[in-house]
């Protein structure tokens, strides 16, 4: 068996070892080695758990509030550490911290799964049932079969219920499907048997702990400076953009990155089925999430309800999460028709496929409605190599008669060169900016080139944190002038 990589992962002050191995023709193995207490110590830790539950009361507010839950977790840890030191006087500080961390994981967390959540090399964690090991998707090695396994179906159900309670949702035999998220922002989907025939399931889509920036995407060749500058200009002048792509293509990631171009003095409202959007802290952002109705159908809050409500919140920009159904598409275009700048994501491989999905069943929007959508940015993921690229950027151009829409591909990725290249001159961006800004074509093109110089400077200096990229030290007028003179 060939050992490919070994590294450490730390969760709740417990350090574990990850080993990735593979035999010829076999599936990659992800082995997690976690230090375990001796049997006598493990038995004593059950007593510690009982003492903790007696001394600390858990309120429903603490369970539902992410910040209060973090404080509760710290309170449990400190008290567990104190009890361990009192009962085992000769224990080392390191071992005491490990035992206290183990207690917290078992009482308030998800046991060994906490280590998988802390592994930045993983993108997906999949529990398919108690009958088989947990599967993980590694950024470098793809799908791997892990050494972890959940003992019983009831424990999987318990973990699902724990996740659901933290966002005010339930998963029961009456409501066996759950879409939720963890305090870390990771997206969770859970199902219960017999909906999933082999057993209860949990699927966790992990998001990067360090937010992606436009610098990261440029350095990764996902997008180039010219195309990023083009989109930056479009966002500055409040053109509507839909981001499409296949599963895992990076739609939400690039939407988060592009939102860093939003002016800091504007108010942003996001509307989602399950929270995935994460905007920088300096943005005035109000995230809103759909709430499912109870068994009697009452108490539900739909995307359309949130859309109508958001218009009373004085938004400058509206972000509508992933478009899956006709209702969500209607919400998206209703937001555009209110005169707000709107951004969203959708599953479709190309600009043309996005257009066809919007006008075909089950969404089936009239073509005339699509006139409100200015751009489609299509993402691509090569599953063999793992690379993600901006595949196409296309404008939707209304016909002169006003009864149809055609797509104009402005940029397209060439796989043979691994390069984004200009395909056709922009029509709608130029026309819109000429109409509303009094700039002529030369001034618009000069503005795109100036922005590209700023982005080139950021990439060259490897400025790749959200705070650095968008802090006042990066984009004031004097830096624009400095960047342009440096790269002239």
Site of tokens 């993983």? 122
Q: What is residue 247's predicted lDDT score, i.e. its pLDDT?
A: 85
Confidence check: pLDDT of 472 > 50: no
> Six-digit token pair at 280?
């920088």
Q: What is residue 294's predicted lDDT score, i.e. its pLDDT?
A: 64
Global pTM reads 0.77
> Six-digit token pair at 51?
């003492």
Q: What is residue 342's predicted lDDT score, i.e. its pLDDT?
A: 93
- The pLDDT tens digits of the residues spanning 102-135 come to 888 888 889 899 999 999 999 999 999 999 999 9
Decide: helix, strand or coil at residue 382.
Answer: coil
Q: Which domains does the chain have, with CATH numbers?
A: 2-205 (3.30.450.380), 214-487 (3.40.50.300)
What's the number of CA atoms in the CB half-sphere (13 Å) around residue 257? 24
Q: What is residue 321's predicted lDDT score, i.e. its pLDDT?
A: 82
Helices 66-87/39-55 angle, 10° precision: 130
Percent of the chain beyond pLDDT 90?
A: 46
pLDDT band at 484 (very low <50, low <70, confident <90, very high): very low
- The pLDDT tens digits of the residues spanning 329-384 come to 887 888 888 788 999 999 999 999 999 999 999 899 988 889 899 999 999 998 77
Query: Between 339 and 203, whose confidence is greater?
Result: 203
Give the residue-averaged pLDDT of 434-451.
90
Query: In angstroms, how far is CA 372 from the centroid of its own chain?
Result: 26
Confidence check: pLDDT of 259 > 80: yes
CA angle 195, 134, 63 (to 5 degrees): 75
Q: What is residue 69's predicted lDDT score, i.e. its pLDDT?
A: 73
Secondary element (H or E) of residue 482: helix 477-487
Among 323, 219, 212, which residue's Cα sits nearest to residue 258?
A: 212
Peptide bond into 194 cis (omega under 30): yes
- The pLDDT tens digits of the residues spanning 289-332 come to 888 776 666 778 888 888 889 888 999 999 988 888 888 788 78
Q: 48-57, 84-93, 199-208 — which one is most confidently predicted on average? A: 199-208
């Amino acid at each position: 068996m060939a050992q490919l990589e070994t590294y450490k992962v730390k969760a709740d002050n417990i350090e574990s070892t990850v080993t990735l191995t593979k035999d010829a023709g076999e599936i990659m193995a992800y082995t997690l080695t976690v230090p375990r207490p001796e049997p006598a110590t493990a038995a004593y830790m059950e007593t510690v758990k009982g003492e903790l539950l007696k001394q600390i009361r858990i309120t429903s507010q603490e369970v539902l509030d992410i910040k209060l839950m973090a404080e509760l977790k710290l309170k449990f840890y400190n008290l567990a550490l104190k009890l361990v030191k009192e009962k085992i006087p000769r224990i080392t500080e390191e071992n005491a911290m490990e035992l206290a961390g183990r207690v917290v994981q078992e009482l308030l967390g998800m046991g060994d799964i906490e280590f998988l959540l802390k592994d930045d090399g993983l993108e997906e964690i999949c529990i398919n049932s108690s009958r088989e090991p947990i599967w993980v998707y590694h950024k470098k090695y793809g799908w791997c079969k892990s050494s972890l396994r959940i003992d019983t179906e009831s424990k999987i159900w318990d973990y699902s219920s724990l996740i659901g309670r933290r966002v005010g949702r339930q998963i029961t035999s009456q409501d066996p499907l759950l879409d939720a998220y963890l305090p870390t922002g990771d997206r969770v989907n859970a199902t219960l048997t017999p909906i999933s025939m082999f057993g209860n399931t949990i699927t966790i889509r992990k998001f990067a702990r360090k937010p992606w920036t436009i610098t990261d995407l440029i350095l990764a060749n996902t997008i180039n400076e010219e195309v990023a500058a083009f989109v930056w200009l479009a966002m500055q002048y409040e053109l509507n953009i839909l981001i499409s792509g296949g599963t895992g293509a990076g739609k939400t990631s690039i939407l988060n990155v592009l939102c860093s171009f939003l002016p800091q003095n504007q108010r942003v409202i996001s509307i989602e089925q399950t929270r995935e959007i994460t905007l920088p802290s300096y943005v005035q952002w109000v995230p809103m999430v759909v709430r499912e109705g109870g068994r009697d159908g009452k108490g539900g809050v739909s995307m359309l309800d949130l859309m109508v409500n958001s218009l009373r919140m004085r938004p400058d920009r509206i972000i509508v999460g992933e478009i899956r159904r006709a209702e969500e598409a209607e919400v998206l275009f209703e937001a555009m028709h209110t005169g707000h700048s709107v951004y969203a994501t959708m599953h479709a491989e190309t600009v043309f496929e996005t257009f066809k999905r919007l006008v075909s069943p089950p969404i089936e929007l009239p073509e005339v409605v699509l006139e409100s959508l200015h751009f489609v940015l299509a993402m691509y993921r090569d599953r063999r190599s793992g690379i993600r690229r901006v595949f196409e950027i296309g404008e939707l151009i209304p016909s002169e008669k006003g009864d149809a829409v055609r797509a104009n591909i402005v940029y397209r990725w060439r796989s043979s060169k691994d390069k984004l290249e200009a395909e056709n001159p922009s029509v709608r961006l130029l026309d819109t900016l000429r109409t509303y800004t009094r700039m002529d074509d030369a001034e618009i093109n000069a503005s795109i080139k100036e922005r590209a110089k700023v982005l080139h400077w950021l990439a060259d200096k490897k400025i790749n944190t959200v705070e650095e990229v968008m802090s006042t030290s990066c984009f004031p007028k004097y830096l624009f002038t400095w960047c342009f003179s440096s790269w002239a």
